[in-house]
Amino acid sequence: MKRTILLNFNENTKEMENEERDNFVRGILETLGLPLENIWDEEGTLTTDNKIKLRSILTNYNIQIIESGGEIKVYCDNQVIGDWRKPTYILKRDNNQLDPKKKLFLEMHIDCNSIFEESIT
């Protein structure tokens, strides 16, 4: 699935990239029906204790999440079930904006795939 997110030029792109990546992985895990109650807090972050619990759940269900160079592959029973590629960015200019701070913006292009393509957003 490919999609584009528009970001303010001064927005923290790394934070947004991490949030989108985490949502992708979490969506796969939830779609698999793993027992993830109380793993993430209200903000969607993991505490150290909950990371340990999550690792235990992933091990029990033979799921591996491999990160390399900003890309992620999710495996279940040694089969790839999800693939996240590092996003690309395009700097754009909107000359119709009067506020100079709003003239520049970024397009973040996300490219990710999973066997649950229709289920994960």
The DSSP result for 7-61, as a single string, is EETTS-HHHHHHHHHHHHHHHHHHHTT---TTTS-TTS---HHHHHHHHHHHHHT
Task: Return the pLDDT at 118.
Answer: 62
Rg of the chain in Å (alpha carbons) = 17
C-beta atoms surrounding 24 within 10 Å: 21
Task: Return the pLDDT at 121.
Answer: 47
Q: What pTM was estimated for this model as a whole?
A: 0.84
Task: Return the pLDDT at 77.
Answer: 94
